[in-house]
Amino acid sequence: MSEQDIFIRQEDFDRLEQAIQDYQEGRIDHNSLVAERLMLGTYGQWQEGLCMVRSKLPGGRVRPRQLLGYAEGLENITCLENVHITTRQDIQYNNVPLEETPALLRLLAKHGITSREACGNTVRNVSGCPMAGFCPREHVDVMPHIDATARYLIRNPLTQSLPRKFKISYSGCEADCAQGAIQDLGIVATRKEGREGFKLLAGGGLGPHARQAVVLEEFIEEEALLPAIEAVLALHDKYSDRARRSRSRIKFLVERFGVDEFVRKFREEYARTSAAFDNARAPRGEWRQAREDALVCGHGAPRQVMPQHQPGLYAVPIDVPGGDLTAQQLRGLCALLEREGHSELRATQDQNFIVFNVPEAGIEPLADGLKELGLGLPRAGTNVVACPGTRTCQLGITSSRTVAKMLDGGSHDLTIRVNGCQNTCAHSEIADIGFFGKGKRHFGKLIPSYAIRLGGSGLAGGAFGFPGPDIPAARVPMAVKRIQEAFEEGRAEDESFFSWSRRQGAGYFEELLADLTQVREFELSMLQRDHGESAVFRVQSSGVGECAGAHTDPLDKLLLDIAYERNLRDAFAAKSKYKDAAESLANVFALAGQALLIAAGAEDTTPDESELAQALAEALPDDNEVAEGFAGLYEQFADWRTGLDELVYPGLVEKADAWLKSARLLCRTLQARRKEQERKKSAQEVA
């Protein structure tokens, strides 16, 4: 299957269009619509009828010509102003009217841009070192691994309805510029005793239960990568709590099992996924001699022109103010890059771009061209990133983007990350100075405020920031200025903010900012409005959002499980592992039986294997072809179960698959009947 086929399929857009129409005409409920659109990277905003549409760029890679596609999107859809680069190296639109989302997705698809599985409970964009393929420090260019991972997992039945989202990053060396510490799975290229491979980190994440990833494996071989990733996903699928989605990430599994047991379970799962894995699919990179003395590019993106490992060529970061680009800027940037002969462009985790293979003489013309577009090379002080906050996010409490525009990281280019709520989508825990929004009462009045985190770093050897005091939103610019000045005065030569802030400790900052935290009654009127707002502050967050994804019908989940187990069965058989294939086939039967029993509304949906045929016969009195078909098939299977070989297997599987097809059809028919009954019932209740 070509890459295009996997990432982009027209039928996706037809389905979304149909779902929107069905929803508007009352044939499906809101949850079913949400499930369809999240799968295609489309979130609801708090503004009724408007959506955020996120395109997915593995490793942040975007071709200059594709910028024209993004521009066309802005020009063709009603009232859009700009696109936005995200902290996972994606590019997204805001304020897209729901009815126009299929048109936008079709338009992007024409330019080879996908949004498939950019949101919802799936594997999110695989992010990576911004310098992958060009960094002098790297052991290997991880781009082929990123691409292979994205291709392996997209539309994979295992990843279509995970308990929650799943984030993966790749770094080319131990410095870990892609910040594996905050990912569900961080993958870091390394060498051990002369062998080439990867270190695996797992269970990192930000937000209210921020946790740094732990080491899952110190070293795995290159060809073990994809089955290892699959094994972690299988753990997530099997053990994460589907009922409590807010506690359904890998970090909670690490917490629940403890590191040792988590690792043991991973290895158990890996034994199965690796046994089925076709090694021909393993990505193989070109390993090089890493230059440990070369510059580390830093938190998710370099802030200065960097020499590449290709002699005489440079990587040039492009500062994109606020991460936003208009159609005119997109077109201008494409023209500039083409004029200068550059084809390698990437979105970076600090909401900027980076362009590669620029010869020394080409840096100045590039910088001049960027300036004309309102872009430029990064200037010290502008390392400020904000999440959408109340501008568009359903969970936003404060106006993070507006205050971020007023902040400056000073001559030492401090990393400042501003978030509209405690979910910290813009990474406050790994910033020099991080903020997240909250409402705080003073004299009975709610004041828009920010909690502070200080001295964080997501790089190897880093740590999450420690808490500082809460500050009213109006005083955030003052707080930043004061911290910055104190740093400039107090730092030892060449000392980083990370080291200086930790040397000072939390008490120092409490004192430094003490007057900014105190609110006197007469100041209330000045502090009660958030930046850019004329109305008095109140928390408008719905508190729910769509980040936990849509509810999945258990029957749909079972059908996905069957598809995944069938894939395993075929993979085992392809490697002549008939004993494993037989176990997978038994699992397929059990899952299909369960699906049929659920669809038929049976009370006991998980009978013992030996009683399944009888249970189906009782539950499906009107559809006895399927029940009888199963009984006959299972009898044959039981006879051959331990003696399957290449002679018997194909015939048995052919019959099994024919039966599965009719079982699936029956499930869908019964499911549709049930949904129709439910719809009629709720319509009657409303009437």
Return d(Cα 343, Cα 511) in angstroms, integer.
Answer: 51
Q: How far apart are CA 239 and CA 253, in angstroms?
A: 7
Strand-pairing partners, residue 51, are 44, 96
351 contact choice in ligand HEM, ligand SF4, none (CB below 5 to 8 Å, kind-dependent): ligand HEM
Smallest separation (angstroms) from ligand SF4 to the CB of 247: 17
In the complex, least distance from residue 425 CB atom to ligand HEM, rounded to whole angstroms: 3
Residues 6+ apart with CB under 8 A from 388: 52, 84, 94, 396, 400, 401, 420, 425
Residue 352's binding partner among ligand HEM, ligand SF4, none (Cβ under 5 to 8 angstroms by kind) is none
Size of the site for ligand HEM (CB under 6 A): 22
Q: Does 393 bind ligand SF4 (CB under 6 A)?
A: yes
Pick between residue 95 and residue 351 the one whose CB is nearest to ligand HEM.
351
Smaller CB separation from ligand HEM, 302 or 396? 396
Task: Pick from 66, 423, 501, 587 the residue near ligand HEM by CB under 6 A.
Answer: 423
**What, of ligand SF4, ligand HEM, none, does residue 373 touch, CB below 5 to 8 Å by kind?**
none
Tell which one of 37, 56, 61, 88 touches ligand HEM (CB under 6 A).
88
Residue closest to ligand SF4 when measured from CB atoms: 420
From the list ligand HEM, ligand SF4, none, which binds 420 (C-beta under 5 to 8 Å, kind-based)?
ligand SF4
Q: State the minimum distance, in angstroms, from the CB of residue 117 to ligand HEM.
A: 14
Comparison of 123 and 527: residue with beta carbon closer to ligand HEM: 123
Does 113 help bind ligand HEM (rule: CB under 6 A)?
A: no
Which long-range contacts (C-beta less than 8 Å, at least 24 apart) are formed by 79-82? 81/324, 81/326, 82/324, 82/325, 82/326, 82/327
Q: How far is the CB of 252 from ligand SF4 (least distance, A)?
A: 18
- State in angstroms the smallest separation of the CB of 125 from ligand SF4: 16
421 binds, among ligand HEM, ligand SF4, none (CB under 5 to 8 A by kind): ligand SF4
546 vs 43: CA distance, rounded Å: 7
Taking CB under 6 A as the rule, does residue 39 contact ligand HEM? Answer: no
Other CB atoms within a 10 A radius of the CB of residue 338 amount to: 12
Q: Report which of 231, 227, 226 is spatially closest to residue 269, judged by C-alpha positions.
A: 231
Please pick, from the candidates 117, 319, 429, 546, the single residue that binds ligand HEM as defined by CB under 6 A: 546
Per-residue contact string for residues 444-483; x = within reach of ligand HEM by CB under 6 A: ----------------------------------------
CA nearest to 256, candidates 203, 208, 183: 203
HSE at residue 681, side-chain half, CA atoms within 13 A, is 6
The residue with tokens 């500039």 is 336
What's the full length of the chain, in residues?
687
What is the residue-wise DSSP string for 571-586? HHHHTT-HHHHHHHHH
Residue 146 Ramachandran class (φ > 0 left, ψ -120 to 50 alpha, else beta): alpha
The interface mask with ligand SF4, positions 405-444, x = CB under 6 A, is: --------------xxx-xxx-------------------
Q: Judge whether 228 and 200 are in contact, CB under 8 Å.
A: yes
Which DSSP symbol is given to 301?
Answer: S
Does residue 202 touch ligand HEM according to CB under 6 A? no
Query: Going edge to edge, which strands form the sheet with 50-55?
Result: 42-44, 50-55, 91-97, 83-85, 324-325
> Do 139 and 112 form a contact (C-beta atoms < 8 A)?
no
Question: Binding-site residue total for ligand SF4 (CB under 6 A)?
Answer: 12
- Binding residues for ligand HEM (CB under 6 A): 43, 52, 84, 86-88, 167, 206-207, 351, 387-388, 393-395, 423-426, 545-547
- Binding residues for ligand SF4 (CB under 6 A): 387-389, 393, 395-396, 419-421, 423-425
